Amino acid sequence: MNEQAFRANQIYDWLWVKSCTNFDDMSNVSKLLRVKLADKYVINAVKVDKSQFSSDRTIKSTFKLYDENIIEGVLIPAADRMTACVSSQVGCSLTCKFCATGYMDRKRNLNADEIYDQVVLIDQQAKLNYQIPLTNIVYMGMGEPLLNYANVLKSIERITSDTGLNMAAKRITVSTAGIAKMIKKLGDDQVRFNLALSLHAANDIKRNEIMPINEQNSLKALAEALKYYFSKTKNPVTFEYIVFDNFNDELQDAAELAKFCKHIPCKVNIIEYNPISFAEYQNAGVDKIEAFADYLKKQGVNTNIRRSRGKDIDAACGQLAVKQTA
């Protein structure tokens, strides 16, 4: 635009550091340039559509994108951390049987700036409601992050940049349903953030049943990809496992999981399930879950049981499905 170079830095600062959504607010930019910018460009800002507050202080928000599509993101406050759970796609092309998002079509990928904006908006909610900024980000909302690889990595680059949100990569976790080829690519790209794999069964027959993506990405292929990833990054991996009642809740299942864990340094998070109306899966009983976890621990597997948050507002794991607009 034949402007002086420092103007570009000013505008960059307004967009990425100050998260400005209107050219007219860029107060150190000349009025004339602000008008020229507004004539030529638009800022496709993400906006909070609605927020719901859980009795456990979790806040679920629907966000409206520039094209009227809606996604969901969640703020999860805990004693030692303030976590944002963000979406990476509008809907999801995978069809995990236990997940509400899996029953929606994938409409499109989110752009890197849209993922970044979700984080900024959830950070604002954390500061406004709890006076604490975000400490952690998990890519566990709607969508499969590794099927929107470039935008997810670009958003993390901005979130971790000192000219962005300046967050440590170690505070970010990307969770995948298991795309072997892309796990290898994470290794090649030597990423510094954490990787979690939604495993839920360490047996191909059972995993095929609940996660059809396993048909092209068998446990053997995933184990190979994870070993490659670890050899390149030296990052341990987290396996997420929901103990479903009468499906994968026996000690035999725990034994298969413990065996799978031997492939690379890892830990297991046992996640509480939140039944959805589309599917018949139920969470196993507390005794079964504890016996399952104890077995893993005895086998030397670092295991934690994670309670779900925001169940009363459908904000918990596997429940994101934009009910308001469906």
Binding site for ligand SF4 (CB under 6 A): 92, 94, 96, 99, 101-102, 142-144, 177
Closest by Cα among 124, 59, 117, 126 to 314: 59
Closest by Cα among 198, 82, 101, 193 to 74: 82
User: Is 317 tagged catalytic?
Assistant: yes
Three-state SS for 305? strand
Nearer to ligand SF4, 96 or 182 (CB): 96
For residue 91, the minimal CB distance to ligand SF4 (Å) is 8
Indicate which residue of 3, 68, 72, 224 is catalytic: 72
For residue 208, the minimal CB distance to ligand SF4 (Å) is 14
Q: How many whole angstroms separate alpha carbon 272 and alpha carbon 309?
A: 9
Indicate which residue of 92, 96, 266, 317 is catalytic: 317
Nearer to ligand SF4, 86 or 165 (CB): 86
Nearer to ligand SF4, 37 or 153 (CB): 153
**Cβ-proximal residues to 157 (8 Å cutoff; 6+ apart), any chain:** 164
Angle (CA) 245-251-256 rounded to 5° is 105
Angle, helix 180-188 to helix 219-233, in steps of 10 degrees = 10
Nearer to ligand SF4, 45 or 177 (CB): 177
Q: Is residue 272 within 8 Å of 288, Cβ to Cβ?
A: no
Q: How many whole angstroms separate alpha carbon 284 and alpha carbon 29?
A: 59
For residue 326, the minimal CB distance to ligand SF4 (Å) is 15
For residue 311, the minimal CB distance to ligand SF4 (Å) is 17
List the catalytic residues. 72, 317
